Amino acid sequence: MPQTSVPDHTGAPGREPADTPTEVHSGRPAEGAGSPPGFPFPNATPWLPPVGFARLREERPLCPVRLPTGSDAVLVTGYADNRALLADERFSRAAAARADAPRARRIPLDPTSLTTLDGPAHARLRSAVARAFTYRRVKALSPEVRCRAARLAGEMAGAGQPADLVADFARPFSLGVIGGLLGVSVTDLPAFRAMTEAYLSVDGHTPEQMMRAVAGLKELLREAVARRRAEPSDDVLGVLAAGRGEAALSDTEIVTFGVTLLVAGYETTAALISNAAVALFTHPEQWAAVRASGGLSARAVEELLRFTAVSVGGGTLRVTVADVDLPGGTVPAGTAVQPATTAANRDPGVFTDPDVLDLERAHNPHLAFGHGVHYCLGANLARVELSAAFGALLNRFPRLGPAEPPERLRWEERKMIRGPLALPVTW
């Protein structure tokens, strides 16, 4: 990859982007353009990374872009660059959570969240909450996850076809699993979804609406934590509330972590299941093999994690606190950096035939769950959910297939997480 020096693009939040047109499909400014291309890029196949990522990996691995707020950032698309920056705390999440920092959303990130802490503060909180996400705990939860998937598949069958795989299965399944793990019962799914829509919105809601959503989600968790303080339990909130010594967390810390986990566990997993279904439906031979085997192998799960694009880029915005040399170039201090792990997962220098969906792929060091100290705590749970979802669906519906072509689907457009708004299926 070419070595480049990246200019310091740290535009203030809320600055209006210039009117100069840009060739956003390729990720390169149009000839004579005076501003960076806008990110996220338009994408005709939202379950896959934008086609422009491939060109950027080769020609401009560290590419200045304009975020929806008007802030400027550098988009990183290569595998080696992404792996390096994800492991290097000079690319600071805490710096990106400052009120005056460049950002993609209209409100600042919560500076007390596990996802925005650095150094000892992050290590302390991570150590405390990791006890609730051990491999043993997730493995013990697997039968319950599979039972939940089977029950929802049965309800779909009872309601008749066509069904909506998003509303009838993916959303209630992912919310039920993460809610059960936390010990939070969400009885009003439409109201909860409205809050998460606003919470995760890039530009579809006002800052006031987004802050009200944050407050509503925190209130839901605050009540649950108060109950755990009074009546101990073995769910995640109960384990955290019972922490002592170095593992002792305040109510505020538990609530903030709970909101992060609840929203991420719901939205991301629902989109993963839906997008994986679209990816399989658009590869008939691979889908036929999955149907014949009655589910997803461990390799197939990893390949779908690599191949599908749940996020428009992948990775959380960071700000450099020092000059940093990456394989693709030098990033100056004070630069906002947007990792694009979905682009990294298609890097031909790491993956053979990266644009091919190969459910038997043996070498698959994908970055779908990140890398380094912020590696996703829920990675093992997400794997279990993806496997359980398709196992239950194919056990109930061996002939499951799309009810309409993918080009007719409507997709989320106001969030960094992308999934179909509806996915009609028949059997």
Say if CB 376 and CB 133 are below 8 A apart.
Answer: no
User: How does pLDDT run across 335-344, given as a tens digit for each residue?
Assistant: 999 999 999 9
Torsion of CA 259, 264, 265, 270, to 10 degrees: 140
Can you say whether the dihedral through the CA atoms of 363, 367, 372, 376 is positive or negative? negative
For residue 37, count other CB atoms closer than 10 A to its CB: 23
Say if CB 129 and CB 117 are below 8 A apart.
Answer: no
CATH number of the domain to which 14 belongs: 1.10.630.10
Q: Could you report how far apart the first and last alpha carbons of the chain are, in Å? A: 47
Which residue do the tokens 């929802």 mark?
Answer: 152
* β-pair partners for 64: 74
Give the confidence band of 34 by pLDDT, cuts at 50, 70, 90: low
Give the single-character DSSP code of 60.
-
Least Cα distance to 185 among 138, 134, 223, 155 occurs for: 223
Say if CB 105 and CB 252 are below 8 A apart.
Answer: no
Which residue do the tokens 């996802």 mark?
Answer: 115
Radius of gyration of the chain (CA): 21
* Structural element, H or E, at residue 325: strand 324-326
Give the single-character DSSP code of 45.
S
Looking at the structure of the chain, the number of domains it has is 1
For residue 77, what are the domain limits?
4-426
Name residue 2's amino acid: P
Q: Can you tell me the distance from the alpha carbon of 146 to that of 385, in angstroms, rounded to the nearest whole number?
A: 8
- pLDDT of residue 394 exceeding 80: yes
User: How does pLDDT run across 127-171, given as a tens digit for each residue?
Assistant: 888 877 777 888 888 999 999 999 999 999 999 999 999 999 999
- pLDDT of residue 420 exceeding 90: yes
pTM above 0.85, yes or no: yes
pLDDT score of 203: 67
pLDDT score of 189: 67
Q: Can you tell me the distance from the alpha carbon of 67 to that of 13, in angstroms, rounded to the nearest whole number?
A: 9
Say if CB 202 and CB 415 are below 8 A apart.
Answer: yes
pLDDT score of 11: 35
User: How does pLDDT run across 187-212, given as a tens digit for each residue?
Assistant: 766 777 778 877 777 766 788 888 88
Rounded alpha-carbon distances, angstroms, from residue 5 to 63, 87, 142:
10, 20, 47
